[in-house]
Amino acid sequence: MSHVYQHIQFNYQEGVGHIVLNRPNTLNSFTQIMHDDLKAALSFLESRNDLRGVILTGTGRGFCAGQDLSERKPLPPGQRRDLAEGIDKNYRSLVLRLRALPVPVVCIVNGVAAGAGASVALACDIVIAVKSAKFIQAFAKIGLLPDAGGTYFWPRLVGMQRAMGAALFAEPVTAETAAQWGLIWRCIPNEELDATIESVHRHLADGATRAFAATKQALYESGDHSLEAQINIERDLQRELGYTDDYLEGMHAFGEKRPPRFTGR
């Protein structure tokens, strides 16, 4: 099932939503239209009870160069722009809705990710980037601070020094370095982009969706919990998973020495 949007491509197959940022001439920078398209695609995904995963990527040589700066034309003398508006209207909900989806959201970074483009990639649960990709905290170059969660994700993933350096110097961090730092999960050769999207799709479409959802929930909650509280969360979630069809199937498959056929239920 495909939906026609102006600034993204979107299709939904086997319970997996593919969102492709699609303004290659401006490195897929965010316009208001793209934000509206993303809101519609997320509403569709949130409404599906057969949802099993989401893949976010971009067309062309860039993933996303952040806010489309042509939508921020200089104002007449004496006027200033309220930049909180765009965050409240668009970026906050985009980042929070990606995080809240009860399935894995995998970002496959096909090229440069700059400004809010890097933040939105890191809002996804797993990030895989091609070798030619780079992550740029471009904000300092235009007199801004990292937003769309940029000051949240970076220090948690790579530590304060690297987060501070990347933000204050706005130097590109290559995909290889990003993987070494733990900013992303994996750096892949450029020629493996399409095959990686396909294999991630298969993994999500065939996976134990409820177990993925519980894992995502437990890992994200762990930062705020004591070890004991976290073990209690694991116990409660494991109890729920023990009642699922997929656990039953996993146990049968193990006993019968065959791959499991999970249904996501």
What's the closest the beta carbon of residue 150 comes to ligand T3D, in angstroms?
A: 9
Exactly one of 15, 53, 66, 149 binds ligand T3D (CB under 6 A); which one? Answer: 66
Strand order in the sheet with 112-114: 62-64, 112-114, 134-136, 173-174
Q: By CB under 6 A, tell whether 123 contacts ligand T3D.
A: no
**Can you name the residues that pair with 128 across neighbouring β-strands?**
108, 186
**Can you name the residues that pair with 62 across neighbouring β-strands?**
112
CA distance 23 to 31: 9
What's the closest the beta carbon of residue 103 comes to ligand T3D, in angstroms?
A: 26
Q: By CB under 6 A, tell whether 112 contacts ligand T3D.
A: yes
Q: By CB under 6 A, tell whether 109 contacts ligand T3D.
A: no
What's the closest the beta carbon of residue 91 comes to ligand T3D, in angstroms?
A: 7
What's the closest the beta carbon of residue 231 comes to ligand T3D, in angstroms?
A: 39
What's the closest the beta carbon of residue 36 comes to ligand T3D, in angstroms?
A: 15
Tokens encoding 90: 């668009």
Give the interface segment with ligand T3D, choosing from 2-10, 12-20, 67-75, 202-210 (CB under 6 A): 67-75
Assign residue 225 a region: left if phi > 0, alpha if psi is -120 to 50, beta otherwise?
beta
Residue sitting closest to ligand T3D (CB): 66
- Comparing CA positions, the residue from 118, 107, 112, 179 lying closest to residue 152 is 118
**Residues in 131-160 that interact with ligand T3D by CB under 6 A:** 136, 138-139, 142, 144, 147
For ligand T3D, which is the closer residue by CB, 29 or 196? Answer: 29
The full DSSP string for 142-167 is GT----TTHHHHHHHHH-HHHHHHHH
Tokens encoding 217: 């929930």
Q: How many residues are present in the chain?
A: 265
Residues in the site for ligand T3D, rule: CB under 6 A? 26-27, 29, 65-70, 72, 83, 86, 112, 114-116, 136, 138-139, 142, 144, 147
